[in-house]
A and B are shown apart, each in its own frame.
Chain A
Amino acid sequence: MDARRFKDSFSTISIRFSLVFVNAIAFTIAVILFIKAKPILAKTTLSHLLFSSSWHPMRGDFGFFPFIIGTLEVTAIAMILAVPVCLLSAIYLSEYAHKRFRAFVRLVVDILAGIPSVIYGLCGVIAVVPLVRLLGQSLGSPTTGYSLLAGGIILAIMVAPVIISVALEVFRTIPQAARENSLALGITTWEMIKHVILRSSLHGIIAAVVLGFARAFGETIAVLMVVGNVAKVPLSLFDPAYPLPALIANNYGEMMSIPLYDSALMFSALLLMLVVGGFSLGAHLTLLKIERRGYT
């Protein structure tokens, strides 16, 4: 075997090894988190962990219900605020905007998607929290401003770039011919959007929303900074909440000194990984299908 062949087969082996290695990382993370979460799963039932509100780490009583509800509510508020606005923007960019303007907005959105979450959190503390406090006072429910609503608003701003860019991508995979055909039948652009664009990209739109949801669900620092962090089930928009990621981030210091606490926190990390991983897996499978359809 000459040197060239040898180099080639050696590199092929190492490249294949690196591929296996990358896949192994994903499974290692899941398996190790599961092993660490096992002690708590052995001691309490899954339904107690998920649906009990009693949170007393010192007594070994871990009910994640307030945290799970907090996460779900803050994410839901963010999605309610972000989804309509982002989809309308994406439709405008795809169907009405000039090509150059579209490229410009895409650039801006890409750059903004890269802004660190701690900066979003900081702006939340500076601008959103006082606003929510004012709003709460004028609506007759006094609040510190560090609340579910503040977290939802900041998350909505953070997921906007994700939803817009994925939705835009999906709209652009629709062949130009489909647009031209329907316009040639004499319908207006809006009718074309309703009957052709939206109908054929329904799955893609859902995927875009799900990816935004997954991003919001696991966001830690920005939410932690504005959401108040009180371990109670929030009853109004102006109540503080305590999402799961914030729980992990705030308590890693104590978790080694209280028995089972580390296991409980790893359980919540595993929960986050499974929920976010599951949703984004579904979204990416859908997008993959759309992409393939685009090529044919």
Chain B
Amino acid sequence: MEEKIFKSLMIMSLALVLVMLAGIIVITVYKGAPALTLSMLIETPKGGYYLGKEGGIANAIVGSLFLALGASFCSILIAIPVAFGLQKEYTGWRFASFTKLVLDVLWGIPSIVYGAFGFVVMVYFGLRASLLGGIIVLTLLMLPIMVRSMEEVIRTIPLELKEISYALGTTKLETTFSVVLRQALPGIVTAVLLAFGRGIGDAASILFTAGYTDYIPQSLFDPVASLPLAVFFQIGTPIPEVQERAYASALVLLIIVLLVSIISRLLSYRFSKHIVR
């Protein structure tokens, strides 16, 4: 009897969670799809855009891609050596676990804290809100995600494989490149895409550091628009046409994030064909 009650409670809970989460996607698509037109995607805002006149969100789409791609690139440069460095050939167990713990905590730090930190540093160096500032802050945000996900995969590589390689007289670097990198490649790709998805959707960290503009940035020191902030600013206005655009921007953002997430799963499935287990 007790079991029956609890089991039905569990099924109801799970159904509730799935319905709520599906609701998020359904609402975004339902509201965003009618507002999404071709001119929304390829035009930048024109005069009177924020009063409901002509224009689109191309500035935000391009800006978000610039920010997330730039930050992914910077994060990869730092994350790969760190993830490899956490192997026991390079670091003692104690320091490696300490670093992992620090990264776990960094992963949990609210993005608004990164934003505030980035803002303070930029003010110190006299840097205005710009593409560069946004990229730096997003790099800080994405780095822990990337390293932790890469390390999870690198850790699962069978020790025997590495030992075989070492027995052939290779150096640490050679084994890392020809065995570990090969084996971990699907995981590394997944990690990069996971971090990319987080980075492109984050609003609080770039609120101070990337600024917002109606134009597509021409240099690293120009302010840059982004999709999350486009949603945030446009939903805040009382004009219904502009709110429609917030829905459309949210749909574009959702599509990008879901695509990245699905692609990463497909890629990791494809790449893992040649992995020794």
A, B in one complex: yes
Q: A residues touching B (Cβ–Cβ < 8 Å)?
A: 4-5, 7-8, 11-12, 14-16, 18-19, 21-23, 25-26, 29, 32-33, 36, 84-86, 88-89, 91-93, 96, 105, 107-112, 114-123, 125-127, 157, 160-161, 164, 188-191, 211, 214-215, 217-221, 225, 245, 248-249, 252, 256, 262, 265-266, 269, 272-273, 276-277, 280-281, 284-285, 288
Is B266 in contact with chain A by the CB < 8 A criterion? no
Flag if A119 contacts B113 (CB, 8 Å): no
Contact A22 B103 (CB under 8 A): yes
Question: Contacts A16-B85, A218-B112; is A114 near B257 (CB within 8 Å)?
Answer: yes
Given contacts A114-B261, A115-B254, A126-B27, contact A26 B105 (CB under 8 A): yes
Q: Which of B183-205 contact A (CB under 8 A)?
A: 194, 197-198, 200-204
Asked if residues A118 and B203 are in contact (CB atoms below 8 Å), the reply is yes
B105 adjacent to A15 (CB under 8 Å): no
Q: Does the CB pair A19–B18 fall under 8 Å?
A: no
Taking Cβ atoms with an 8 Å cutoff, the residues of B that contact A are 2-3, 6-7, 9-11, 13-14, 16-18, 20-21, 23-25, 27-28, 31, 78, 81-82, 84-86, 90-91, 95, 97-99, 101-117, 119-121, 123, 140, 143, 147, 171-174, 176, 194, 197-198, 200-204, 207-208, 228, 231-232, 235, 246-247, 250, 253-254, 257-258, 261-262, 265
Interface of B is mostly: helix
Nearest A residue to B24, CB-CB:
A123
* Chain A contact residues, majority secondary structure: helix
Task: Give bound CA distance, A33 to B109, whole Å.
Answer: 13
Q: Are B24 and A119 in contact (CB under 8 A)?
A: yes
Write out the residue numbers on chain A whose beta carbons fall within 8 Å of the beta carbon of B31: 126
B90 partner, pick from A15, A92, A114, beta carbons under 8 A: A15
Min CB–CB distance B17 → chain A (angstroms): 5
What chain A residues lie within 8 Å of B250 (beta carbons)? 118-119, 122
Q: How many A-B residue pairs have CB under 8 A?
A: 245
Residue pairs across A and B with Cβ atoms less than 8 A apart, 26 shown, are: A8-B171, A8-B173, A18-B85, A19-B91, A22-B99, A25-B106, A32-B120, A88-B9, A88-B13, A92-B10, A118-B228, A118-B232, A119-B231, A120-B24, A122-B247, A160-B21, A161-B21, A190-B3, A215-B108, A248-B112, A249-B207, A252-B119, A269-B113, A269-B116, A273-B109, A281-B105
